Amino acid sequence: MSRLLAKPRFTGARVTRMEDDRLLKGQGRYLDDITVPGMLEIAFVRSNRSAAKLVEVDVEAARNLPGVMAVFTAQNCPYVLHDEKYQVDQSVLAKDEVRYVGEPIVVIVAENRYIAEDAVELVRVQYDALPPVITAKDALADTRRVHSQRSNVFEHWEQVTDGFEEAFNSAPHRAHATFVTHRQTGVPMETRGCAAMVDPASGRLTVYVSHQSVHQFRTDLIKVMNLDEHQVRVVVPEVGGAFGIKAMFYTEYIVVTHAAKALARPVKWIGDRTESLLADCHARDNIHEVEVAFDDDGVICAVRDNVIGDTGAYPILGFPGAVGEAGWATGHLTGPYKIPHVAITVDCVFSNKAPVGAYRGVGGPVGAQVQEGYIDLVARKLGKDPIEVRRVNLIQKDQFPFLSATGNTYDPGSYAESMEEALRLIGYDTFRDEQLEARKQGRYLGIGVCVFVEPSAGVSSEAGSTPYEAVTLRLEPSGKITASTGLGPSGQGHETTLAQLIADELSVDVGDIVVLHGDTDSAPFGGGTGGSRSATIGGGAALKAAKEMRGKLAKIAAHLLEASQEDIEFKDGQAQVAGVPSRGHSIAELARIAYTDVSKLPDDMQPGLEVVSRYRPPMSVTYSNGTHAAKVEVDIQTGLVKILDYVAVNDCGVLINPMIVEGQIHGGVAQGIGSTFLEELRYDDAGQLTTTSLAEYLLPAMTDVPRMRIEHLVTPSGNDGGFKGMGEGSLIAGPPSLCSAVSNALEPFGVFATEIPILPQHIIAWTKDKVAV
């Protein structure tokens, strides 16, 4: 195989996203754009009680409405998701009992959505109310049970480092605080949906779904419905945002597929915004009671964290959400700090609320909120600058690989460096004077900082996991390249970034490559997109496939040129004898020969040029890092927070496309702003969700998101290519830095914010009638 490689042209460059041509012209084809003749549409009757026995479900009038083709209930759509580990059953359509508002009970299949919605109104559900379990504390008390056969506490674990108590008790100072991140969710512009149809000729089933992993989806679907892979094709069209929400498997998908099979008609469901807020997985909803022990310099020796994670009514198939949230949050409790001791207890509980699942960062935002929160707390107690406390606790460059007290091994990163760079960018040196000056005028400025670690591209060796990704590469007879992957992009630009990597390996233009995804009939089996794994693992697979292809091309070229394969280099779209461009063949010529002039091939080579490569990274996880710093002004009259400046210093190893990485950061910070100041899924005492539209669940608008400055540091990972994932870090770092900035601004009022979102009414209540000191 040729070892001589030209300098990369595309890797590391700001290559314009190839996806954007179609997306910006409105040519993206999303789930709801898929219509086929005879397609029926679906509407769900969802529970309007949080906890009740179902006494009677009368669907007669709905069934008789003209245009209604079928009505399904648990009786004629009897699938049940059984959670082996926690011994919980979830009927795909509620049977006997409902456990959260929004749980599907009946499905109407009609000629169109209008009729289906009308029929929904005709269904009579008679409930016998049960007392709901709404707060985490209620759930823990276990006096009322969400699932009668088992305790609400479905998961409990503890972790204590040896010597914790001694270290904790002998420290000169201790402080405590309770940190809360309320219920939030990812809100993709395109809601969830699914369409299913059976091909009458072959009998094969095709399911279109807006999802992050075609293969995982197929695995889950066939398991529940007892189908076989080769009879099921899953297609993911353009996805308008996913954010972890669409990595989950939901009961609606089974109902839609069942209806399509039962009626032998194509059937489609797309959630409306209310359904989306009610029944997409929720996230966060963690309470952390934290105690921290430290010395006079602010060096922290021990942290205790008692956590309750409220997971809602059911574990989501394949993703025990609260365990995920609390697991990541406590697993990275010490973040980038070299704190030697931790004591952690976690209780994950069921409640009569929507199930909790993945949302960008899964536990990372909560964990970072706690981590930066206790650092700020120490500073507050000692009357020190919060930056000083960070400086004395940060893991230093010469300490990598670093084994954290929670048991994670961090590969090299630039923790301290990223913070210093962020401080320089935001002008920390002069800020304190500016802040004092402003305070004299009754203006409250603050800077908050979050130094984050982001576990990315994690792979597990457990059975059932997919610790690899695959890329199929086909050099077509014309010399153009078709690549195919199991990744499931929803805006991350994989079509561009994978093409960049392949183009450089083969010295061709990115425009000569098309990257396909989202179809189990053509994509090689893979894990899909989630856990910020695509650049690292998918990119690794693309590199590997391209290298294999290069080997094949080098072999053909060497044969034709009567040269040694080792001497073949790839440059400007041709394979040539190193340094002798006149002795070479274009890639297109080699491709033509491989398919249609095969007598010229070496004897031991098959015709054609196709490879499939699977990359299983040597590292089980690689840690990205960085620092976000936010400068805010808090208006104590209106309770509004204005973000005056925002900087992000990011280290995700080798960058494939800085522009895409920066786009990821912009988006994550925007979500972080929503998470800190706007977004909260609120349930009332009866378990009714009161935030069922975007008029109540507020998202950041364009004017809420400031311009931000971004810088990159590069500490390569040990995986091929040196990439680290970064798709979640900006939502991990956003909320803590903003929350910390508010605390810093309002320090004269003794305010120390420990709950997000921070709403205007909170700020007003904290400062009203108080005198700044």
Which of ligand MCN, ligand SMO, none sits in contact with 661, Cβ below 5 to 8 A by type?
Answer: ligand MCN
Interface residues with ligand SMO (CB under 6 A) are 212, 244, 247, 358-360, 362, 530-531
Range list of H helices, 383-447: 386-393, 415-426, 428-440
The CA distance from 586 to 560, in Å, is: 12
**Residue reference for tokens 């630009």:** 493
SS3 call for 299? coil
**Min dist. Cβ of residue 606 to ligand MCN (A):** 32
Residue matched to tokens 């504390």? 137
Q: Which is nearer to ligand MCN, 497 or 676 (CB)?
A: 497
Name the residue nearer to ligand MCN (CB basis): 479 or 527.
Answer: 527
Give the position of tokens 């998101």.
705
Report the first-to-last Cα separation within the chain, whole angstroms. 71
Closer residue to ligand SMO (CB): 212 or 466: 212
Q: Least distance to ligand SMO from the beta carbon of 242, Å?
A: 7
- In the complex, the smallest distance separating the C-beta of residue 671 from ligand SMO, rounded to whole angstroms, is 11
- In the shown chain, the binding pattern of residues 401 to 440 toward ligand MCN, with x for contact by CB under 6 A and - for none, equals ----------------------------------------
> Is residue 193 at the binding interface for ligand MCN, with CB under 6 A as the rule?
no
- The least distance separating ligand SMO from the CB of residue 483, rounded to whole angstroms, comes to 22
CB of 7 to ligand MCN, least distance (A): 18
Residue 653: name its binding partner from ligand MCN, ligand SMO, none (Cβ under 5 to 8 Å by kind): ligand MCN
Minimum Å gap between C-beta 651 and ligand MCN is: 9
Residues of span 353-372 touching ligand MCN by CB under 6 A? 360
Q: Which residue, 104 or 672, has its beta carbon nearer to ligand MCN?
A: 672
Q: Which lies closer to ligand SMO via its Cβ, residue 362 or residue 473? A: 362
- CB neighbour burial string for 503-533, b if at least 16 within 10 angstroms, e if fewer: bbbbbbebebbebebbbbeebbbbbbbbbbb
Minimum CB separation from ligand SMO for residue 723, in Å? 16
Length, in residues, of the chain: 773
Among 99, 192, 211, 533, binds ligand MCN (CB under 6 A): 533
Q: Which of 47, 532, 625, 754 binds ligand MCN (CB under 6 A)?
A: 532
Instruction: Give the range of 19-27, 48-56, 557-565, 647-655 binding ligand MCN by CB under 6 A.
Output: 647-655
Q: Which amino acid is at 655?
A: L
By CB under 6 A, what part of segment 650-689 binds ligand MCN?
A: 652-657, 660-661, 664, 667
Query: What is the distance between the alpha carbons of residues 357 and 693, in angstroms, rounded to a whole number?
Result: 20
CB of 188 to ligand MCN, least distance (A): 6
244 is an interface residue for ligand MCN by CB under 6 A:
yes
User: What is the token pair recorded at 162?
Assistant: 């040896």
How many CA atoms are closer than 13 Å to the CA of 260, on its beta-carbon side?
Answer: 29
What values do phi and psi take at 577, rounded to 5?
-70, 130
**How many other C-beta atoms lie within 10 A of the C-beta of residue 609?**
23
Could you say which of ligand MCN, ligand SMO, none residue 664 binds, taking C-beta under 5 to 8 angstroms by partner kind?
A: ligand MCN
Check: CB of residue 325 under 8 Å from CB of residue 284: yes
**Eight-class DSSP state of 697:** S
Q: Is residue 334 at the binding interface for ligand MCN, with CB under 6 A as the rule? A: no
Question: Which stretch, 168-176, 532-540, 552-560, 758-766, contacts ligand MCN (CB under 6 A)?
Answer: 532-540
Are residues 270 and 386 in contact, defined by beta-carbon separation less than 8 angstroms?
no
Contact flag: residue 534 with ligand MCN (CB under 6 A):
yes
How far apart are CB 505 and ligand MCN at their closest, in Å? 15
d(CA 370, CA 333): 7
Q: Are the CB atoms for 248 and 316 separated by under 8 Å?
A: yes
Nearer to ligand SMO, 102 or 244 (CB): 244
Quick one: 376 or 651, whose CB is closer to ligand MCN? 651
Spatial distance between the Cα atoms of 602 and 259, rounded to a whole number of angstroms:
54
Residue-wise DSSP of 700-767: --GGGSPP-EEEEE----SSGGGB---TTHHHHHHHHHHHHHHHHHTGGGT----EES--HHHHHHHH
Q: Side-chain half-sphere of 385: how many Cα atoms within 13 Å?
A: 10
Contact 318, 390 (CB under 8 A): no
Q: What's the CA gap between 698 and 674, in Å, rounded? A: 7
- Give whichever of 248 and 746 is closer to ligand SMO, judged by the CB atom: 248
In the range 725-754, which residues lie near ligand MCN by CB under 6 A?
725-728
How many other C-beta atoms lie within 10 A of the C-beta of residue 464?
A: 7
CB of 234 to ligand MCN, least distance (A): 18
Q: How far is CA 355 from CA 37, 249, 509, in A?
A: 35, 12, 46
Looking at the Cβ atoms of 116 and 502, the one nearer to ligand MCN is 502
Q: How far is the CB of 703 from ligand MCN (least distance, A)?
A: 20
Interface with ligand MCN, residue 617, by CB under 6 A:
no
| Beta carbons within 10 angstroms of residue 244's beta carbon | 27
CB of 144 to ligand MCN, least distance (A): 34
Q: Nearer Cβ to ligand MCN, position 219 or 492?
A: 492
Min dist CB 680 to ligand MCN, Å, is: 20
Q: What is the pairing mode between strands 580-586 and 40-46?
A: unpaired
DSSP 537: I
Interaction of residue 243 with ligand MCN, rule CB under 6 A: yes
Which of 247/389 has CB closer to ligand SMO? 247
Nearest approach in angstroms of CB 454 to ligand SMO is 11
Distance CA 175, CA 472 (A): 55
- Which residue number, 316 or 362, has a Cβ lying nearer to ligand SMO? 362
Helix, strand and coil in the chain, % to nearest 5: 35, 30, 40
Residue 660 interface partner, choices ligand SMO, ligand MCN, none, CB cut-off 5-8 Å depending on type: ligand MCN
Closest CA to 311 of 321, 296, 299, 301: 321
Query: 160 has which bridge partners?
Result: 343
Residue with tokens 């990205």: 624
User: 660, 656, 652: which is closest to 714 by C-alpha?
Assistant: 652
Q: Which is nearer to ligand SMO, 457 or 560 (CB)?
A: 457
Site for ligand MCN in 474-513 (CB under 6 A): 490-494, 497
Q: Which is nearer to ligand MCN, 334 or 492 (CB)?
A: 492
530 binds ligand MCN per the rule CB under 6 A: yes
Give the integer Cα–Cα distance in Å for 306 and 346.
6
Q: Which two tokens stand for residue 44?
A: 């769900």
Question: Smaller CB distance to ligand SMO: residue 104 or 531?
Answer: 531
- Nearer Cβ to ligand MCN, position 43 or 654? 654
Q: How far is the CB of 530 from ligand MCN (least distance, A)?
A: 5
Residue number of the CB atom closest to ligand SMO: 244
657 binds, among ligand MCN, ligand SMO, none (CB under 5 to 8 A by kind): ligand MCN
> Shortest Cβ distance from residue 603 to ligand MCN (Å)?
40
- Take residue 340 and report the two structure tokens written for it: 């030697």
Encoding tokens for residue 476? Answer: 């077509």
Q: How far is the CB of 526 from ligand MCN (least distance, A)?
A: 12
CB nearest ligand MCN: which residue?
Answer: 491
Q: Which is nearer to ligand SMO, 188 or 413 (CB)?
A: 188
Q: Tell me the C-alpha distance between 344 and 686, whole Å.
A: 32
Binding site for ligand MCN (CB under 6 A): 241-244, 360, 456, 490-494, 497, 529-536, 652-657, 660-661, 664, 667, 723-728
